[in-house]
Every structure is written in structure tokens, then in C-alpha cells.
Structure 1
Amino acid sequence: MSLTYAVVTPARNERANLGRLAESLTAQMLLPAHWVIVDDGSDDGTDDLGAKFAAEHDWIVVCMPEPATDGQLTEGRREGRDLLAFRRGAAALPTAVDVLVKVDADTSFDPDYFATLMRRFAEQPDLGIAGGCCYELEDGEWVRQKVAGTHPRGASRAYRWACYEEALKLEPKMGWDGLDEVQASLMGYRTAIFNDFGFRHHRPTGGRERDRLRASAVLGSASWYMGYRPSYLLLRALYGTRRDPVALAMVWGYASAALRRTPRCPEAGAVRHLREQQRLRVLLTRGANP
């Protein structure tokens, strides 16, 4: 018996992408029990398109914005706005599911993607957060993005329900989708990327940011909030310069947040565990996702 799953998609002005994602989901060999589209204050017709899909399929649900809390995505993204939208979508699920998947609107999947992913969750009871590998378009070719083998990409992350419930405890701050992996580990679950299947990400990471330098600095600030070791942050930034020199702005963002004494994650146990995983000896034994 297959595990049941639901998809939640936070969406702000995603009309151009939503149709492609809808085609991918409706073509799945194993359909989701529900697909919840969380409109985040769109003004391009995203909500109308979502409503059209919901009228065609009874397993599609549209969540409209909450005026009291919804604001600009450019600010909200840095405050973990996608976590708030993710939670709102999960709260709107008509029925319970075994696995909850956060899927960005700018993604697409082969028809067997979710059937394969659910099979992995069923076969591996200790799997808490997982996803296939991420491909992005580079010079006309789909190229697999290399990241740590324990860090499923934020564009498509699947949570066993117990791990999602732990994510509910996190503050809605940028960096939450790293701390949730720590929480899962503390619960005894593994997190993983599977390299034998994947999904396509049609907008490069940080693609909403008009200023790449600022985007990198924001990542540095998020790393401060998460409690990164300074040595690990520096190594990560230097490694990132192999592809983009502006990755060094992460160091500036981290140092700036430190000088301002910006508040850090209050989950002390999660921060301690994260910093332990960032020790050099641990990194050398854990490896990356080659």
C-alpha cells in the first residue's frame, strides 16, 4: 500500500509557472491526495488560475491571502514567509496524509517522481525529510545542482508528517529549512537527497532577488540566525565562489548580523546539533552529494 501525500505550493504572482506545475501534478502515476495552492497576495491572476484548476479537480484547493498578515514577498521571504504559507496550506488539508511536500510553483516533475519518492519513504521508516535531486538550466542544458547529500532543495522538500510537526515549532525566519533538518535528526530521522531521480527548477536559486550581491548577503544573515560556525560559513562562501564570486557577500551578511547582535534561533538544542555537524571531522566523514 502506497503512502499518501499532499503538495503545498506557496505562490505569489506565479501565473506563468503554475500551469506547468499543474500539468506535472495531474500527470503523476501516483496522484497527490490534495494539492493546496496558497496565494500570497498575487495581482497577476494566479488566484484565478488556481480557482480554475480547483474547479476541474476536486483534490486541488486554493487558499486565499490573509490580509492581516500578508505583505511583500521581498520582505517576507527573508522572514521565512514560505514557512508561514506552508503552514497555512497544511492547515487547509481536507484529510490527513503520511507525507507533506512543499513544492515551489517554478518546478516540474516526471510522471513517476512522486510514486518513486513515496516508495522510498515506505521502504525507509527512518527517512524524515527527502527529495530528488534538483536540475537547473545552464547554457541550454539541465544540470544537476550539487549540494550536501543531507539537504533536500527547498524547491521540493517532502516531510514525513512527524517531521513537519516539528517544523511547526520553528520561528518563521529565513534559514528554517535547514534547522528543520536538525530537528529531524534530533528525533532520530535521516534527511536525504536521492540522485537516481530528480525534478526541474525553472528559476535559478535566488532568482527572485534582483541584486545577487544582496541575495548572498541575506544568506549570510540567515546563517547567523541559524547559529553557523564562522569557520564553516567562511568555507561555504569560498566554495561558492567557484561558481559565483558574489558568494563572498555571505561573509559580509553574517558579520553584519553579528555586529548588530541580531537575535539568533532560540532552539538551543538544534543550534548545538547544527554546530556539531559543522565540525571539520564530521564534514569529512559525512561527505557531499557528488
Structure 2
Amino acid sequence: MSSPLPSYAIVTPARNERENIERLAESVVAQNVPPAAWIIVDDGSDDGMDEVAQRLAGEHAFIHLERTNEGSDKLEEGRRQGRDLLAFRLGVRRLPAPVDVFVKVDADTSFDADYFGELMAKFAADPQLGIGGGTCYELEDGVWERVKVNAAHPRGASRAYRWALYDDVMDLEPTLGWDGVDEVMAELRGFHTQGFTDIGFRHHRRVGEREGRLRAGSALGRQAWYMGYRPSYLMLRAAYRSRTNVASIAMVYGYAAAAAARDPRCPQPLVVDRVRDQQRLREVLRSRVPV
């Protein structure tokens, strides 16, 4: 007898995503296994997205609209200051009730009708799965191509957390790099993380499209500095990625700039130690996965 599927809720941080939120809503409403709730967190949109979200909430009882407030919830500093994390946490706090799994879903994604049912089946089958998600597909020359990443890394555009990690997510620092620290914290709690290649979602805005590939690469370098990456591993990662995206070399610049400016680093020594242990050459060679 198969285990019952976990209950789940979706939180979507969004700003000026009117067209995308309409498309995402079509995917969410069409799910064979519907969510207990979908919280759309509007971060000061001025393109009419707020009105669209209000209409959706009026049409479907499980959809709720939340707005960021002045003060600590005002999310205007951008991605590098963890605006998406702040919005995500706000949405999770406003869920009507706890669920087994809560999912961060970006507005610029879409899914087949069986996506969340299949993802919840992964959590049901594996009690130690802490963070999971499907494979990300992006449009390349008119064809949806799979974005290859480390198999243990669920993409941030669709990232599902077991409720046992609620406190860890709420304690994350709102800074670039939080969606790497959370994976390490899950591992330290005895869970593992996984991106699943047998289920997938479509990402309609390629990574770095909004800010430009060079800036996106530099931001990854700053993220690596925050997480305590070994310089040798950072160089290896940049070289590996540059085979298909030359802008990845900007990771080295971002890392060096953060080091020169003495930017803050992750304040949790256990997290940094785990990251650096995983980046030892023998571990990288043993894993044989993309970096």
C-alpha cells in the first residue's frame, strides 16, 4: 500500500510579474494534486500584478495575496540582499496552517499538471529528503533544454522544503547565497537534498537574463565568498562552467572583489566547514557531477 502524499503549499515572491503570474496560475490551478494554499507575495509591483493576484484570490479559495510592508518587510534592496528570501519567509509565515512541505516557486515558471503530485511522491517515498525539486528546463533556440547542475542541488525557481526545516529557513540570513546555505543546514540536520531528473519544470526567464550574464556570474562569485568556498574550487567551478558560458569567468571577479572588500561571510562555522570539506579535490573527483 503506497504512502499518502504529503500536503503542500506554494509561496511565490513576485514583483512586476503580471504576465508571468497569469501563466503560473494556469499551471497551479491545473495541478492533479492541488496545494493546500498558494501565497503570492507582491513586493510593490507597479505593472498591475497586484490586481491580477487579487482577481485570482477571488476566483480560488486556496490562493491568497500578501503584500510587503514598510520597515523590515519592505523588500526593495534586490536579490543581493536576499529580497526573495524575505518575501518567501513572509509568505510561509502567512500560511493558513502548517503543511508537510512548503515550496518556493518563482513567478516565471510553469509546470505540467502532474508536477507537484510527482514531487510530493518523492517526499512520501523518502523521509530523509529535506529539500527537493524537479529539473529546470530553459528555452534554447526554440527547444526546451535541461539545465545541468549538481544532482544534489534543487533549483531555486522551484524548491520544496520539508516542514521540519521551517525554523532553519526562517533563521537564514537574507543575503545572496542563502539558497546554498539552506542545503548545508539540511544536511547537518540529517536530511539530504535532491534535484530529480524524471520530473521537470519550465523556466521562462533564463538565469541572469534580468541583470545580465556578467553581473549574474559576479553575483555567484560573491555568493561563493559568503559561503566560504575554497579559492581552488571556485576556480575549478568557473572554468567548468565557462565551457558553455564564458561569462562564468566573472565568478572569479566577484569572489575576488568580495574578498578585497572584506564582505561578510556566513556566520555559522559548521556550515562553512561542511562546504569546504565537500570541496576537497578528492571529494570533487569522487562525485563526478557538474560544479
5 Å matches for 1:123-272?
123-209=125-211, 211-272=212-273
Q: Report how many aligned residue pairs link the two structures.
A: 287
Structure 1: runs of 5 or more not aligned? none
2:13–2:43 Cα contact (<8 Å) kept = yes
Q: CA deviation at 1:215?
A: 2.0
Aligned to 2:70: 67
Equivalent-residue separation in structure 2 for 1:16 and 1:76 (angstroms): 20
Per the normalisation by structure 1, the TM-score is 0.96
Aligned to 1:5: 8
Equivalent-residue separation in structure 2 for 1:289 and 1:212 (angstroms): 19
Q: Which stretch shifts more, 277-286 or 244-253?
A: 277-286
Aligned to 2:45: 42
Match of 1:30 among 28, 33, 45: 33
- Please provide the CA RMSD for this pair: 1.3
Q: CA deviation at 1:13?
A: 0.1
Q: CA deviation at 1:173?
A: 0.6
Q: Write the deviation string for residues 205-236 of structure 1: whole angstroms up to 9, x where unpaired.
A: 12221x32222112111110111111111111
Q: Which stretch shifts more, 239-248 or 144-153?
A: 239-248
Aligned to 1:113: 115
> Which secondary structure does the structure 2 equivalent of 1:149 belong to?
coil
1:35–1:61 Cα contact (<8 Å) kept = yes
Q: Write the deviation string for residues 95-146 of structure 1: whole angstroms up to 9, x where unpaired.
A: 1100000000000000000000101101100100000101000000000000
Q: CA deviation at 1:78?
A: 0.5
Per the normalisation by structure 2, the TM-score is 0.96
> Which secondary structure does the structure 2 equivalent of 1:178 belong to?
helix
Q: Which stretch shifts more, 215-224 or 62-71?
A: 62-71
1:13–1:42 Cα contact (<8 Å) kept = yes
Q: CA deviation at 1:2?
A: 1.7
Whether 2:20 is the aligned partner of 1:20: answer no
Equivalent-residue separation in structure 1 for 2:127 and 2:248 (angstroms): 37
Aligned to 2:56: 53
> Which secondary structure does the structure 2 equivalent of 1:168 belong to?
helix
Runs of 4+ in 1 over 4 A off after TM superposition: none
Match of 2:105 among 103, 106, 110: 103
Counterpart of 2:16 in structure 1: which amino acid?
N
Aligned to 1:79: 81
Q: Write the deviation string for residues 164-192 of structure 1: whole angstroms up to 9, x where unpaired.
A: 32122211111100010000000110100
Q: CA deviation at 1:245?
A: 1.3
Structure 2: runs of 5 or more not aligned? none
